[in-house]
Chains A and B, each alone.
Chain A
Amino acid sequence: MNTIGNFLLRLLFIVLLLAVWEAAVRLLEIPAFLLPAPSAVGMALYRGIVSGLYQEHIGVTLSETAMGFVVGCVGGLLLGTCVALSRRFDYFIYPIIVMFQAMPKVALAPLIIVWFGLGITSKVVNAALVCFFPLMINTIVGLRSADEDRISLMRSLAASPLQIFAMLRVPNALPYIFAGLEIAMIFALIGAIVGEFVGAQAGLGMLIQSMNFTMDVAGQFSILLILSVIGLLLNMSVTLVRKRVLFWDPASRQAGIKPDRL
């Protein structure tokens, strides 16, 4: 499938699609505030980047996403480990976490802005809250899924519970944890953008909001384009790390993406 000819064909197909879009907007005289032509989106993107405006906001959104991701993942890993290891924690705390998760985090964003202000902190909190749950669930499932035979083997060697955890349960959980990290990465970006929608001084989400007020639809399209590229790059970076760490995992050795366990 992946020959040069096919690659060119794919490219041609995209170009064709853009041409049809451009032609339709021009011929049908669709107003720019409803649907901008690809050329207008391209121009908006060009102007935004040349003026340095986009880079500044990309930087803000990226750092919010990254910090939220780190905070959320550390939290998800810790809570997931506690739930997986402690029956009491599982019994008393886990239901509360699930109840909290059942609530749509987006609805919480205005409150978080009130608590943490219009600055970067509220977005980090929002991103962390949105992305910790998938990682926690995958950590729990991963740590609990160690094979009975392998546990018997470790026990027959007189391994301590800590050794069984470190030498068997943790590596065994890694494929699940990485699947969780892939989801969490995208969720963190969503969390940051939603936070910016609700109230912010900078960031791509805020930029979309303000462009919406000025009916700069071409500008909004250009930001959506940037966001999808960012999402793609973030996902690819996790996949890249996963392939290096999980060289032994059948699902990672093939090119495919591990099915999500949510």
Chain B
Amino acid sequence: MDGSQTQVAGGEMIAVRRLTKRFGTPASPVIALSDIDFTVNEGELVVVVGPSGCGKSTLLRILAGLLPQSQGEAFLHGTPISGPRRDIGVVFQAPVLFPWRSVLGNALLPVDVQRLGRERLRARAMELLKLVGLEGFEHRFPWELSGGMQQRVALVRALIHDPALLLMDEPFGALDAMTREQMNQELQRIWMERRKTVLFITHSIGEAVYLADRVLVMTPRPGRIADILKIDLPRPRGLEVMNTPEFGAYVKRIRTGLNASGGIE
């Protein structure tokens, strides 16, 4: 299961070693993550897929520095993650926009927090807004936008300070199926243009296979990685790729892995 370490492209960006997370009291602990091991290479798009309660969000929160682990270690560029870091961008399931800030203001939130200079990064914000198709909306307010548009603003906000790593926690889970497919296509396009390292979390097997270079399959109770598979589908992938037998085979393999471990979706 550690075949992932023989990757070629880029260097190792994330290394997770025997990561364990327990909640609850020492007397009756709930094991959310058990001995998680994996790596993510520079510029790679890795998707973690698993049913609700398998600990995938906990994993992301630990990598974002929002939650301390119980045991083991997570490294980013060789340094252990011990708290929130400025070289990570996070996209949550909800857009989490501030209604008192305009679209541009929301996109520039990390710039304000990290005092990077609004003037300097304003042009970059406009460029990113254009990249996600929100040109002309920069002075609108979040409540004037659709759910998909709000999540695009959240994506721009996560990219504005040029983080080395993008963590995405079921970012399109709250969107309707058609918007979701569209957002997946756009994410692929943006990723191919910018080549960020992305760790993407989802409970949709189709979404995982469509997006990923590699898929980590997680199963619950205790949360652990049941399978890691490389997705060899040519990019850019159109939506029609979902109808190919190769795609079907990947989906089937993941589903079998989940079922075998009792983690049925």
Contact = CB atoms under 8 A, between A and B. Distances in A.
Contact of B98 (A152, A156, A171, A250): A171
B109 interface: yes
Interface stretch (B1-9, B14-22, B88-96, B233-241): B88-96
B68 interface: no
Contacts of B65: 156, 158
A250 B98 CA distance: 13
A175 B141 CA distance: 17
Given A156-B65, A248-B141, A250-B143, A150 B96 contact: yes
B60 to A, nearest CB: 10
B99 A248 contact: yes
Contacts of B88: 156
A249 interface: yes
Contacts of A155: 66, 84
A167 interface: yes
A168 interface: yes
Given A153-B90, A156-B66, A156-B90, 16 more contacts: A153-B96, A153-B109, A156-B65, A156-B84, A157-B109, A157-B110, A157-B113, A157-B114, A158-B83, A158-B113, A158-B114, A167-B109, A171-B98, A171-B100, A248-B141, A249-B99
Contacts of B83: 158
Given A153-B92, A249-B99, A159 B113 contact: yes
Interface residues of A, number: 19
B265 interface: no
Interface residues of B, number: 23
A29 interface: no
B246 interface: no
B143 A248 contact: yes
A230 interface: no
A41 to B, nearest CB: 46
Contacts of A159: 113
A155 B83 CA distance: 9
A171 B98 CA distance: 9
B99 A156 contact: no
B114 to A, nearest CB: 7
B110 A152 contact: no
Contacts of A157: 84, 86, 109-110, 113-114
Given A168-B98, A171-B100, A154 B113 contact: yes
B230 interface: no
A153 B112 CA distance: 13
Given A171-B100, A249-B99, A158 B85 contact: yes
A240 B113 CA distance: 31
A55 interface: no
Interface in B55-114: 61, 64-66, 83-86, 88, 90, 92, 94, 96, 98-100, 109-110, 112-114
B94 A158 contact: no
Contacts of B100: 171, 174, 248
Given A150-B96, A156-B65, A167 B113 contact: yes
A150 B99 CA distance: 11
A163 interface: yes
Contacts of A167: 109, 112-113
A250 B141 CA distance: 12
B196 to A, nearest CB: 16
Interface in A82-106: none
A168 to B, nearest CB: 7
B109 to A, nearest CB: 7
B234 to A, nearest CB: 34
13 contacts: A147-B96, A150-B98, A152-B96, A153-B90, A155-B66, A156-B64, A157-B109, A158-B65, A158-B83, A158-B85, A158-B113, A248-B99, A248-B143
Nearest to A164: B113
B69 to A, nearest CB: 16
A143 to B, nearest CB: 15
A75 B55 CA distance: 46
A139 B20 CA distance: 40
A249 B141 CA distance: 11
Contacts of A154: 113
Given A158-B84, A248-B141, A149 B92 contact: yes
